[in-house]
A and B are shown apart, each in its own frame.
Chain A
Amino acid sequence: MRSLLAQSWQIYRKDMVVEYRTRERVVTMFVFSLIVVVIFNFAFNAGADVVQRVVPGMIWVAFAFAGMLSASRSFSPEKDRGTLDGLLLAPIDRGSIFLGKLLGNVTLIGLVQLAMLPLFVLFFNMTILPHLSKLLVIFFLGTVGFSSVATLFAAVAVNTRMRDVMLPVLLLPVASPVLIALVETTRTTFEGGDWQDMANWIRLLSVFTVVFLVASVMLFEYIMEE
């Protein structure tokens, strides 16, 4: 277990150094999320009550698509440059490649969320400070859950010819429960609800995250085989 985590850390660290030097993924994800916010801002020029109901969906549409970009780019350059074979040849648990990539995706999506939340507040005149602790838990759980399944399917899609089309086709149906749970918990939080009001959704999010995380680490070996 210790070596699995140590190997994952090396892969994560390498990915973050590469990203820091290129800023390839994070800039694309931020620009995409920003465009979504601006478009929705014009599309839903409505009263506060409507905004409160619509914004949670908007937030997760932006982050889900940004997350998809991140997951896809976490594997496609490795495949195109042949470095994925370099990782697969190493005497490491291949689950560590998944975990390293997952950590990278969670970090980048988290950074985009940090940058975007103030913009959501600005554009939609929302109050988030009283709900901040709840939102942090929901966003963390949701980002890990969504990234687990996105990272797994990005690894599946990278070996297919139409990988850019395959990823959303594979991912979105499977990730729907987690996205619906995220929209519901975020909406309940903005409406002033407490943990009890969203207990079932949180349970669903937690189970989904744990199941996909564990299954992905175990299945990754077979997914990477040609």
Chain B
Amino acid sequence: MGDRSAPGISIRQLTKTYGRFRALHRVDMEVAPGSFLALFGPNGAGKSTLLGVIAGLVRPSRGQVLLDGDEITGDRDESLGERIGVLSYQTYLYDELTVRENMRFYGKLYGIKNGEERIEALLRTVGMDARAGSPVRTLSRGMRQRVALARALLHDPDVLLLDEPYSGLDQDALVMLKTILTARNKTILLVTHDLARGLESADRVAILNRGRLVFEAGTRDLSRVDFEQAYRDHAV
């Protein structure tokens, strides 16, 4: 898992329709190995659907997603889950289980070796070791999101798909998330409405609107003002 180099993601002519509604329309996109791409767009633009297709949760109507040149949108490959970590506004945690029980459960599903050590280390990293024995239902939204981050990193994935990961996080947790994301040994695709944070962390930015990719640029020479103008031009 973690000893592999971060893969590149190629998205080719990706289309997803729900009945007559076209959530994605012929999207072409490249995420270079080890790079960080932030994807923006208004509500209903198709951002979460795109992440769902890459994660293997949504089957595309047409087109392909390639991970290191291997198609992952055909028949499901179980090992894909070992390479991809997903952090979403949904935490995937069970309210009735404690933090540690949730981590152990997912650790077993992911076949983590030295699970206990890794769980304790991750809980310390996200600052939740003191609440490891607490049921998730007793945690605040921000605390749950911290545990969700630990869960997403549990199997040390080399691709991270982040869907509004900042929701509910306090300042300390935001700094911690930024530190983890800037370690740059992973290929990261971030979906967010937070233009400033996305622009600050990513190597490239893209805008999706009505299922189409309408803007893509590197962040090196892109000022926040210019990007906000581009967002207004393409997505509003």
Residues 70-112 of B, flagged 1 when their CB comes within 8 A of A and 0 if not, give: 0000001011111010101011111111000100011011110
Contact of B55 with A by CB under 8 A: yes
Interface size, chain A (Cβ < 8 Å): 24
Inter-chain contact A85/B105, CB cutoff 8 Å: no
Asked whether any CB of chain A lies closer than 8 Å to the CB of B57, the reply is yes
Number of A-B contacts (CB under 8 A): 70
Closest to A24 in B: B96
Is B59 a contact partner of A226 (Cβ separation < 8 A)? yes
Question: B97 is contacted by which of A18, A93, A226 (Cβ under 8 Å)?
Answer: A18
CB < 8 Å: which of A18, A82, A226 contacts B52?
A: A226
B56 lies within 8 A of A226 (CB): no
Which of B57, B92, B96, B155 is in CB contact (< 8 Å) with A21?
A: B96
Interchain CB contact under 8 A, B57 and A226:
yes
* Complex Cα–Cα for A18 and B93 (A): 12
C-alpha spacing A94/B109, complex, angstroms? 11
Tell me the bound Cα distance from A10 to B107 in angstroms: 10
Contact B81 A91 (CB under 8 A): yes
Q: Give min CB distance, B233 to chain A, whole Å.
A: 32
Residues of B within 8 A of A221 (CB): 76
CA distance A209 to B91 in the complex (A): 36
Say whether B58 faces chain A, with CB atoms less than 8 Å apart: yes
Residue from the list B82, B93, B105, B151 in contact with A91, Cβ < 8 A = B82
Residues of A within 8 A of B91 (CB): 82
Kindly name the residue among B95, B96, B109 whose own CB sees the greatest number of chain A CB atoms within 10 A: B109
Interface status of A90 (Cβ within 8 A of chain B): yes
Q: Which residues of A contact B (CB under 8 A)?
A: 7, 10-11, 14, 17-18, 21-22, 81-83, 85-94, 221, 225-226
| Contacts beyond the supplied A14-B97, A89-B81, A91-B80: 11 A-B pairs with Cβ under 8 Å | A18-B96, A18-B97, A81-B95, A82-B90, A82-B91, A85-B92, A86-B92, A89-B56, A89-B57, A89-B86, A91-B155
